[in-house]
Amino acid sequence: MEQENLLHLIIIDKSMDDADLLVSALRDAGHDIRSVFVRDESEFHSALEDQNPDLILCDVNMGAPDLEQVQQAVIQSKQDIPIIATASALSSKQQLKAIQAGALDLVCKKNSEHFQFVIDREIKNLAARRKLATYDASHNKVEKKLQSLVDSSRNAIAYINEGMHIYANPIYLEMFGFPGPEEIESTPVMDIISPDNHSKLKNYLRRYSNGEQGTMELEIQALRPEGITFDATIEFSPASIEGEPCTQLLIRDQSISKELEKKVKYLSKQDLLTGLYSRQYFLKILNIAVLDARDNKNTYSILYIVPDRFSNVKATVGIAGADLVIGDIASIIRDNHEGSDIAARFGDCSFTVMTKMSDIAIVTALADKIRASIEDHISEIAGTSISVTCSIGITMFDETANEAQEVISNADLACELAQKDGGNRVHVHNPIADKLATQEREKESIALIRGSLVNNRYTLVYQPIASLHGDKVEKYEVLVRMLGKEDNEILPDQFIPIAEETGLIVDIDRWIIAKAMKTLAERRNSGSNTVFFIKLSGISIADNDLLPWIIKQLKKNRLEGNSVVFELSESAVVNQLKKAQAFLKGLTELHCGFGLEHFGVGTNSVQLLKHLPANYLKIDGSFMHKLASNRENQEIIRSITNMAISRHMTTIAEFVEDASSLAILWQCGINFIQGYFLQEPDKIMNYDFSGEEQIEA
């Protein structure tokens, strides 16, 4: 049934008037009828083949086809079609004969109330059967998927019934030496348990089968085929196979688990890329040092090390190449500090060293030694020579230190001032002087931002957003750069935070929109089907005049709304949801697109979509790093993609690094990708979107 109350009928009758009588009765009952009237066997078979009927009404006095022939034809068609017999008058003998021939009931054509009741009953029954068939198909599909997951699981999983194995996955078979699933069928579960533990397992299974509550895990000694026992944990859970209830066993080799626990504990201290300590471990040790300084009046020093203009390195050799440079810097730091010092990779491209040296001259000499060694080093990346400098901030703390975060903030500030003085230098934190210097630097930055707006000292660059599924529409994200005194490009992270703090970001956003729409109009007028993705700050959407101004810009440039997508970061909208909703409502009326970027890092990302149904979800770039080897990130991306599909939203993966990541993203169902793997941001839009079939492959 395509819609409620719509019935598709095949009416087999000698009388057209009788057929019309039946149709009229059903229409009086509120049904919308689509009927085919047939008078012989040939017409019936044609109608059954061509139509998709919900019901067949057949007069009991038809010669051909009779009820038995109709029933046989329905069976052969493998369709679930109720057959209702009709007659001008009823008798109990006739009713029994009709039901024996395959009809579900016999109704009198003249008794409209009984006829309507029978039809309503059978339609409800048919709907219930169809719904059940849908559930069965869905259930079977889920069972097959679960079976696939069980077979591919790294855990040893088996199913038992009344103490006997009925199925086991490959890992389980390998663990206990069975050549294949057939060999383990009907094998007692006791065969894989040490004889000393048989009574323990029997008692547990007895309590489990009686439905006793309590632990669902049992620690036991398992038995390998060569007679070797090992410590194992068995996790029990109810399950079913082909509709039959059973129990699932998941067995973990505890000897492996204990070894893994040691490795995890070690790796939690270490940054895998550099071999230095991790940020978390460094902060833990720093907290201990702060307490030691207070209690024992000891003095410590912190070096905060950041490569200068590292974004240029990424732009030159990509993220993977930049990781190799990070590794080289880490090696230099490791070679140039004392063994008792704690050196860590503190951020993506920042490092920290904590030392117990209390003589500032010695600490400064150490920092300068590290700085000079980094400056002298040349990294060879795929035939490209890369040299970098670094800025180092130093802070010292003693019993007067308040907390670890303050210590790190002081070292970070000192490093920032070293960078602002041109980089490739060491700066020692001075509380009073550094505060004044910071205030002066901010004044200069604000003046530069304002002057750039007045003198049109910004420029736009564009990065392609390419489809993984053959969409040929040209999509570019619009990015901004500020021009320095010597026309050097200043990246957004160096001026956007200050612009947001001062409110100047509103003017910058409008400059970007106006410039981008003018460029977009020129491109579309030249025949390119181009769509621009334009970032907005959270502050801008609080401006009530922004939407009317956007309307004027669209009209001025004669642009269709669907040629522009406005992007807001998830963090920007979460604290001003009502303003974001109003902004989205306005964009929808203009037919503009709306995207949420950096999606997935918030605490309630999915919940946010209930209030803010975006057209595009740009998954945060942190999930893309080393994606091929990061199972957790793969699952997060797959989960976000499945959720987006269910909500009819389009997904974009940003910061795509390599071809291996691309293959995984395609398997996850990601719609579009963006990143240096495709192309770095450029003033010229020359990406070949016609080659996207190659991406899909």
On the 0-12 / 13-18 / 19+ scale of CB atoms within 10 A, 525 is exposed
Higher pLDDT, 255 or 310: 310
State the average pLDDT over residues 305-330. 89
Which contacts (CB < 8 Å, 24+ apart) does range 403-411 have? 403/290, 404/283, 404/286, 404/287, 404/289, 404/290, 407/286, 407/290, 407/302, 408/283, 408/286, 408/302, 408/304, 408/352, 410/302, 410/434, 411/302, 411/303, 411/304, 411/352
Amino acid in the structure at residue 96: L
What does pTM read for this prediction?
A: 0.47
- What letter represents residue 343's amino acid? A
**Who has greater pLDDT, 117 or 622?**
117
532-561 residue pLDDT tens: 999 999 889 888 899 999 999 999 999 999
In this structure, of 326-335, 385-394, 570-579, the range with the lowest mean pLDDT score is 570-579
Q: Which residue has the tokens 């004027």?
A: 552
What CA–CA distance (Å, rounded) separates 555 from 536?
A: 20
**pLDDT over 90 for what percent of the chain?**
32
Residue 2 has pLDDT above 60, yes or no: no
Instruction: Please tell us whether the domain made up of 6-135 is placed in CATH 3.30.565.10.
Output: no
> Tokens at residue 608, please?
């946010």
pLDDT given at position 143: 65
Task: Give the pLDDT score at 565.
Answer: 96
Asked whether the beta carbons of 490 and 549 are under 8 A apart, the reply is no
Q: Which of 37, 6, 22 is nearest to 118 (CA)?
A: 22
pLDDT digits (tens, 9 = 90+) for 612-671: 899 999 998 878 877 877 788 888 898 899 888 888 899 999 988 766 677 788 888 899
Torsion of CA 302, 308, 312, 313, to 10 degrees: -60
Q: What six digits make up the tokens of 430?
A: 């001075």
pLDDT of 507 reads 93
Q: Is 144 exposed, middle or buried (0-12, 13-18, 19+ CB in 10 A)?
A: exposed
Phi/psi at 466 (nearest 5 deg)? -105, 145
**What are the tens digits of pLDDT across the range 238-255?**
777 776 788 888 887 776
Which amino acid, one-letter code, is at 73?
A
pLDDT 10s digits, 18-76: 888 898 888 888 888 888 999 888 889 888 888 789 999 999 888 788 898 999 999 88
Which tokens is 402 given? 């308040």
State which amino acid sits at residue 421. D
> 506-526 pLDDT, tens per residue?
999 999 999 999 999 999 999
CA-closest candidate to residue 273, choices 636, 662, 630, 600: 630
For domain 447-696, give the fold: TIM Barrel (3.20.20)
Q: Among candidates 22, 20, 65, which has minimal Cα distance to 47?
A: 65
pLDDT band at 147 (very low <50, low <70, confident <90, very high): low
Going by C-beta distance under 8 Å and a sequence separation of 6 or more, which residues neighbour residue 224? 175, 176, 177, 230
260 pLDDT band, cuts 50/70/90, is very low
DSSP string for residues in 217-252: EEEEEEE-TTS-EEEEEEEEEEEEETTEEEEEEEEE
Q: Residue 31: what are its φ and ψ, rounded to 5°?
A: -90, 145
- Weakest mean pLDDT among 21-30, 138-147, 573-582, 602-611: 138-147
CA 198, 199, 201, 203: dihedral to nearest 10 degrees? 160
What residues does each domain of the chain span?
6-135, 153-259, 268-429, 447-696
Higher per-residue pLDDT: 482 or 151: 482
What is the distance between the terminal CA atoms of the chain, rounded to a whole angstrom?
40
- Rounded to whole angstroms, the Cα distance separating 233 from 235 reads 7
Report pLDDT for 695: 46
C-alpha to C-alpha distance for 110 and 89, rounded to whole angstroms: 8
Helix axes 546-556, 505-525, angle to 10 degrees: 20
pLDDT tops 60 at residue 213: no
**Is 602 exposed, middle or buried, given 0-12, 13-18 or 19+ CB atoms closer than 10 A?**
middle
Q: What is the pLDDT of residue 693?
A: 39
Who contacts 296 (Cβ-Cβ below 8 Å, separation ≥6)? none
CATH architecture for segment(s) 268-429 = 2-Layer Sandwich (3.30)
d(CA 525, CA 559): 10
Percent of the chain scoring above 70 in pLDDT: 91
Domain 153-259 has CATH 3.30.450.20: yes
Instruction: Quote the Cα angle for 425-429-430, to 5°.
Output: 125
Q: For residue 343, what are the β-bridge partners?
A: 353
Task: Concatenate the DSSP letters of all residues of 347-394 into one string.
Answer: ETTEEEEEE----HHHHHHHHHHHHHHHHH--EEETTEEE---EEEEE
Calpha distance 147→456 (Å, rounded)? 62
pLDDT > 90? residue 224: no
pLDDT above 80 (res 140): no
Largest CA distance in the chain: 115
Listed residue (603, 597, 616) closest to 655, CA to CA:
597
Distances (CA, A) of 664 to 618, 657, 670, 694: 16, 12, 9, 15
- Provide Rg for the chain, Cα atoms: 36
Mean pLDDT in the chain?
85
Q: Are 373 and 426 in contact (CB under 8 A)?
A: no
